[in-house]
Every structure is written in C-alpha cells, then in structure tokens.
Amino acid sequence: MARVVSGTVAGKLAVAAGQPRTSLWQETGRRFRRHRLAMVGSVILLALVLSVLFGPLVWRLPINDIDFRAKLKGPSWSHPLGTDDLGQDLLARMLYGGRISLAVGIAAMLIAISIGTAIGAISGFAGGAVDHMLMRITDMFLALPGLPLLLLIVYLFRDALRKMFGPEAGIFILIVAVIGGLRWMQVARLVRAQFLSLREKEFVESARSLGARPLRQVVRHILPNSMGPVIVAGTIDVAAAIIAESTLSFLGLGFPPDIPTWGRILFDAKDNLDFAPHWAMFPGTAIFLTVLSINYIGDGLRDAFDPRKVLGK
C-alpha cells in the first residue's frame, strides 16, 4: 500500500521515508512483474519468438523437402513434429510459418495503432465538427462485418497485388493492410477519450500558457500520457491479427500453399484428422499458446497501467 506512484501523496511519503525513488514506468514494470500469469505468458511468448527467429538456423531441414516414404508419420526423432501428406517436415514448416504469422500480427497491429492514434488524436484535440465527422466514420467502421469484408477485399485485390509485388510480398501487404485497416477503431476511441480528459488537465494548460504550440502540446504532453490504454489495446490487437490471418489461411484464402503459415498448415491438415491428428494439433496449439500468452500479457499490462483496479481487489 505504501508505494503507489511517485508523485501521489503516498509516493512522496515513500520517498520521504528513504525508499528509492522510482519513475512511473518503473512502477508500471514492477506491477506487471507481480502479475504471475502475465509473467508466464511473457516467458512462453519469448520462447516462441526466439524459436521461430533462431530455430531455422538450428533445425536445418528444408520446408519443402518431399519424401513420400515418410508421409503422414507421427512425431519421431528424425521429424520431431511428424510429417504431412507429402512427407515434408512439420517442425521446419512450423518454424517458418511462425515467422510469417508473428510478422503479420505485429505489422497489422502497428498499422491499426498508427491509424487509430492519428484519428483519435485529431478528433480529440480538434473537437467540434471534425470530431463529430471522424467519430461517425469510426462508428460506421465498427458496424462493418469484419471477416466477410476481409474475405471480399482479399478476393477482389489478390491477383492485382500478386502481379505488382510477387506472390509472397503481395499477399503479405494485402493481408496486413486490410487487417490493420479494419481494426483501428477501438484505438481511435481510446485515444480520443484520453485526449478529451487530458486536454483540460493543469499540466497541459500550463504548457499552453507557456506558449507551447498545439503540435508540441500534443506530441510532448498529451500523447505520452495517453499511451497506456493504447499499449494494452495494441497487445490484444497482435493476437486478434494473428487469429485473423490464421482464419483467412484456414479458409484457404490467405497465403498460398507454399508459404506454410500456421493457419495454412491447419487448412491442409483438416481433411486428414482421422489418421494424422498430429498434423493439425501442433499448428493449432501454436496459435492457441501465442494468443493465450499475448492475452495474459495484455491483462497484466492493463492492471499495471491502471493501479486503481488492482488496489480495488
């Protein structure tokens, strides 16, 4: 109870009592580390990220080495996660696909956060008619049916982008842009709400009275203080984007078959469930573990950024 946030009365008392002074971010980090499940999630996610980054350097089997003698085999020493219907090594494919799935998740999240922050900031700072119009647009985007629209856009623009950027880069750009472009609304609303309350706070007013221009007020004073909820929403967005990409690939409309993302491996595996369940179980579990650990991290971050909730317990 004694140390809440330096700057509050309790924080000043703590400092006066000779305890080390800690910054707001250090406090947040400390609260995050106390959230046990969020820490477990971080460790699992870190392990997953490290293995897809460095795994292919250690496990050097090619992802498209066809070997019909070893097809649909369960886990063994030569193929730790078994093989698929062409005898391709699943561990190598999963490690490669994991890179794509995680890259899609992070890139789509960055797009969503950038659009959301920009729109929310403009809306919240400008107010008036601009705010009203941007919020109507946000509401309309919230009412769009996400997956059907995603499918429609991928269907209509797939071939054009493939021609323009090549089969892999084209579909990557398309999927990332569309997932990010359909997920910014929550961030925009959060940022706008933060701006509306922060705009009237004393520290912004003092900056204004000292002659800070609007851009400086926003970038230097308001934006950094409204980042907490955005970071939480961004974390959850990574998970949502990974699920969206896997869903597309699972429906056979995402990445082409030679790029084995986790969703794509599941799509290929789903018709062989009765005699090769391992083929579906490993990628499915990988998606599940990634999403679960990201969600727990998001939960921990939410508690860490909002100490009132934890104290309420």
Partner 1 sequence: MYKYFLRRTLILIPVLFGISAVLFTILVMAPGDPFEELATNPNVPPEVRMNLRAKFGLDDPLPVRYARWVASMMRGDWGFSFVSRVNVDTLILQRLPTTLVVLGSAQLLAILVAIPIGTYSALRPYSIFDQIATTLAFIGFSLPTFFTGLLFILLLSIHLDWLPFIYRSDISGTGWRWYWEHIRQAIMPVAVLGLAQAASMTRFMRAAVLDVIRLDYVNTARAKGLSEGVTLVKHVVRNALIPVVTLVAIQIPTIFGGAIVTEQIFRVPGIGSLLITSILANDTPVVMAVTFIFSILVLVSSLAADMLYAWLDPRISYR
Which residues of this protein are in contact with partner 1, per CB under 8 A?
A: 139-140, 142-149, 151-153, 155-157, 159-160, 239, 243, 246-247, 250-253, 263, 266, 270, 273-274, 277, 280, 284, 287-288, 291-292, 295-296, 299
Q: For partner 1, which is the closer residue by CB, 259 or 286?
A: 286
Per the DSSP assignment, residues forming a β-bridge with 89 are 83
Tokens of 221: 């004073």
Write down the least CB distance from residue 243 to partner 1, Å.
5
Q: For partner 1, which is the closer residue by CB, 76 or 285?
A: 285
- Decide: 283 and 291 in contact? Cβ < 8 Å: no
Write down the least CB distance from residue 195 to partner 1, Å.
21
Tokens of 282: 């490993």
CA dist 202 and 312 (Å) reads 27
Write down the least CB distance from residue 24 to partner 1, Å.
25
Q: For partner 1, which is the closer residue by CB, 112 or 280?
A: 280
- Decide: 266 and 246 in contact? Cβ < 8 Å: yes
Q: For partner 1, which is the closer residue by CB, 15 or 44?
A: 44
Tokens of 20: 């080390």
Dihedral, 207, 213, 219, 224 alpha carbons, nearest 10: 10
> Which one, of 107, 100, 111, 48, lies nearest residue 249 by Cα?
100
Q: For partner 1, which is the closer residue by CB, 47 or 273?
A: 273
Tokens of 95: 């490690």
Write down the least CB distance from residue 260 to partner 1, Å.
16
Q: For partner 1, which is the closer residue by CB, 96 or 282?
A: 282
Write down the least CB distance from residue 59 to partner 1, Å.
24
> Which one, of 11, 31, 32, lies nearest residue 21 by Cα?
11
Backbone angles phi, psi at 158, to 5 degrees: -50, -55
Write down the least CB distance from residue 137 to partner 1, Å.
8
CA dist 104 and 211 (Å) reads 42
- Decide: 171 and 256 in contact? Cβ < 8 Å: yes
> Which one, of 126, 104, 84, 83, lies nearest residue 222 by Cα?
126
* Residue 109 CA from chain centroid, whole number: 5
Write down the least CB distance from residue 8 to partner 1, Å.
23
Write down the least CB distance from residue 253 to partner 1, Å.
6
Q: For partner 1, which is the closer residue by CB, 61 or 115?
A: 115
Q: For partner 1, which is the closer residue by CB, 194 or 247?
A: 247
CA angle 55, 257, 183 (to 5 degrees): 80
